[in-house]
Chains A and B, each alone.
Chain A
Amino acid sequence: MEFDTIFGNAARAGLGPQAAIFALAAIGLNLHFGYAGLLNFGQVGFMMLGAYGTAIVVATWGGSLWLGIPFGLGLCVAFALALGIPTLRLRSDYFAITTIAAAEILRLLIRSSPATDVTGGPFGLQAIANSFYDLNFLPDGRFGWGTFTYSSNQLWVMLVAWILVVLCSALVLGLIRSPWGRVVRAIREDEDAVLSLGKNTVAYKLQALVIGGLIGGLAGVIDVLQQSGVGSENFEPQVTFFAWAALILGGLATTVGPVVGAMLFWFLREGVESFIRQLSEQGWLPNALADFLDGAEGAISIALMGVGLVGLMALRPQGIFGRRRNLHLGT
């Protein structure tokens, strides 16, 4: 059993661009739910718009990547307003249902045949991030050791992605510590009370939705840059729930929670998958079980993660960094 390989694979995933992408998505969700109390089950919709907005400008319309990214983020703002304006006046469950439906409708539209000319339909779009890699000032070649060997371009994406994670965490922290953030947290506790104190709660909720959605959009942009391509299969609803899992794992309404949660999520997911693969390869498993698991390592890994999350909820429901006391004060 090569535990160093397992650990290496897991750590590589925990530090990789996927972890950074999910960290961004979870930071956005943390602003939505952890601070503003908005149940957003459609975070993947924002990621999708950030990614496809960027990709369409570059690959379909032949525009610049530096126009594409703001266009993608602009679509995120439009999506937030379209979702929020009709539903944020209603009870929070209406909003939650709308978000999950809207994100899925968006995905189906993007991969539909009439949209193929623009979005590439089921084939997606490619060759998008060249001008991003042109900016790479890191020298050519390979860096690191063992499992942690990266090409120059891989390092460049990771560097940019993790810098964005730090910046977005700092942005949310700064907002939450301001009087604006105080109103937003107050709305999470009791919207009517805040209304009675003269605050336009719908406007605050809308602002929080837009900002958290923009951060989710950035996650989509990083996804496009990392793969230099985009496909609708990357934006299925479970992406939202993985981001939720990362957020809950790390701890709601904390600054490092979503980031460490996302790293840990990918660390565990890859670690368990790698462990099962090793078990099969080493012949430690009965043949029947090995055949059964063959090719299903990823699915088993997710299932075990689910069990692990249930365990976490039983033992430490506030997440790793959350404050337990807060749970008991919930409304």
Chain B
Amino acid sequence: MSEMTTTRPELTQAALEAAPPGRLKDDPILITFGMLKTFGGIRAVDIDHLEIERGTITAIIGPNGAGKTTLFNLLTGFDRPDHGSWRLDGRRLGGLPPHRIARLGMVRTFQLTRSLSRLTVLENMAVAAQTQRGERLERALLRWLWQSEEERVMTRASELLDRFGIAHMADEQAGTLSGGQRKLLEMARALMTDPHMVMLDEPTAGVNPALTESLLEHIRNLNAQGVTIVFVEHNMDVVMDISDWVVVMAQGRILTEGRPEEVVANEEVIDAYLGRAHERGNDEGEPGEEESDA
């Protein structure tokens, strides 16, 4: 594939406005081509081209069934596409198992939090640290080989827990955390892996407004440290608040993408997602009915 070598047009405002979905970015960290995933006869994800700009916060929005989570699963290796190729920092990820993709720096969270219930909160964090010597079976009993590393891991884990305001729960089993605390823990745990890119699947779902604010603050801080963030979100206030770029999906395709204020003004988006779905009072589980001719 020679996409990496093609010269990119200057990203002017005019070019942005004229460009179709799948717009080229200045400095993409993630590039996806021809991603197709079908379940039976349904094209759950059918994306010709998608780029994610490095160092930005990108929101993926769309009605239920639009393929947002499936796209996450494909990109992070939890599901395999029928065909398609994608690269993180120029490295091909197609065919890699999820743990290899995570090691390359693209870490995801899940829509339903997955705390490791019977491990302590601190252990939850420690599991996420990468390339630990003591995690190798042959060294597990040789404590002196990993003792000092373990202390560093624990210190770092405690610092992160402190930053996320759940340090007082460090020695409690993660199963005792409240839903909101679990969201915080999951985000902190993802950070513990030192990611380049974090994929958050509905980070604020089921979280009270005060905690949502704090979660968004953490996302902003993380982004300020240079981590690229992609998140799936239904709450348009959140999307407008923190995202630099919005990708709208419907029926597995990218309907449009652009700056948040462009996207909310787009007729197609209003039809497919904002307008109708909202007027009907959120008919959950049904894909958007508008045919997209993007």
Contact = CB atoms under 8 A, between A and B. Distances in A.
A198 B103 CA distance: 5
Interface string A217-232: 0000000000000000
A200 interface: yes
B119 A186 contact: yes
B99 A195 contact: yes
Contact of B116 (A175, A190, A328): A190
Interface residues of A, number: 31
Contacts of B130: 198
A329 interface: yes
Nearest to A195: B98
Given A180-B135, A194-B127, A207-B137, A201 B99 contact: yes
A182 interface: yes
A193 interface: yes
Contact of A180 (B109, B119, B136): B136
A175 B99 contact: no
A257 interface: no
Q: How many residues of B sit at the interface, in one of the four size bands?
A: 35 or more
A331 interface: yes
Given A196-B107, A197-B128, A179 B146 contact: yes
A140 B99 CA distance: 59
Interface string A187-220: 0111011111111110000010000000000000
Interface string A309-331: 00000000000000001101111
B76 A196 contact: yes
Residue among B133, B139, B141, B190 with the highest chain A CB neighbour number at 10 A: B141
Contacts of A186: 116, 119, 123-124, 127
A329 B99 contact: no
A200 B101 CA distance: 11
A326 B137 CA distance: 26
A175 B134 CA distance: 10
A181 B189 contact: no
Given A179-B146, A198-B130, A329-B118, A192 B78 contact: yes
Residue among A182, A185, A197, A331 with the highest chain B CB neighbour number at 10 A: A197
A179 B117 contact: no
B92 interface: no
A62 interface: no
Contacts of A188: 118
A196 B141 contact: no
Nearest to A188: B118
B271 interface: no
Contacts of A329: 117-118, 173, 175-176
A257 to B, nearest CB: 15
A150 B153 CA distance: 52
B117 A331 contact: yes
B45 interface: no
Given A196-B108, A198-B130, A198-B193, A180 B102 contact: no
Interface of B: 76, 78, 97-100, 102-103, 107-110, 114-119, 123-124, 126-128, 130, 132-137, 139-141, 143, 146, 150, 153, 173, 175-176, 189-190, 192-193
Interface of A: 171, 174-175, 178-183, 185-186, 188-190, 192-201, 207, 325-326, 328-331
8 interchain residue pairs of minimum CB distance: A329-B175, A179-B134, A198-B102, A178-B140, A180-B140, A193-B114, A189-B116, A198-B103
